[in-house]
């Protein structure tokens, strides 16, 4: 209900309480015109994420340069975790009825495909670890600090 309360405060939904026979009031929410406009606007925009921010990748690169780091072990641990997750999802998928739960099945298929892609990526990285470790550590780009001089604005 937290999300519904937030949407109601924004004017995107409105609540209506309906009395039930022999029970408490039932709360029904309806989308307002403003909510519908916001929803249509949301539909018109792609969902994008910055795939260059990845915790495992950061871990892996640090394990290459840190003295006691073991990138092969890290890949082994990650691969085992991905296979465990893949097994759980494929088990769930096999128990899902496509005649009544197609939307959920599509979500599970997406998860399987992402996991399979991650596993393929690990294979590729593992084959190139020696090459990565021979390359120099990149220097961070210097960024100017403070405000620019008044004439540069």
- Reported as a single tens digit per residue, the pLDDT across 35-93 is 999 999 999 999 998 888 999 999 999 999 999 999 999 999 999 999 999 999 999 99
Which whole number is the average pLDDT over 20-34?
90
pLDDT score, position 58: 93
Cβ count near 71 (within 10 Å): 21
Q: Which of 117-121, 135-139, 140-144 ranks highest by mean pLDDT? A: 117-121
pTM given for the model: 0.76
Which of 63, 55, 109, 52 has its CA nearest to residue 86? Answer: 109
- Structure confidence at residue 152 as a pLDDT band (50, 70, 90): low
Residues 38 and 15: their CA atoms lie apart, in Å, by 18
**150 vs 59, higher pLDDT:** 59
């Amino acid at each position: 209900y937290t999300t519904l309360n937030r949407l109601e405060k924004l004017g995107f939904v409105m609540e209506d309480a309906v009395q039930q026979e022999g029970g408490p009031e039932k709360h029904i929410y309806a989308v307002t015109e403003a909510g519908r406009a916001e929803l249509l606007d949301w539909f018109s925009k792609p969902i994008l994420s910055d795939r260059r921010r990845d915790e495992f990748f950061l871990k892996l690169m640090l394990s290459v340069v840190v003295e006691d780091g073991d990138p092969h072990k890290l890949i082994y641990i990650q691969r085992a975790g991905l296979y465990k997750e893949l097994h759980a999802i494929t088990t769930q998928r096999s128990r899902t009825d496509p005649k009544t739960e197609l939307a959920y099945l599509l979500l599970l298929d997406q998860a399987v495909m992402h996991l399979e892609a991650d596993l393929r990526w690990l294979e590729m990285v593992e084959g190139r670890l020696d090459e990565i470790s021979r390359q120099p550590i990149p220097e961070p780009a210097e960024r100017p600090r403070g405000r620019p001089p008044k004439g540069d604005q």
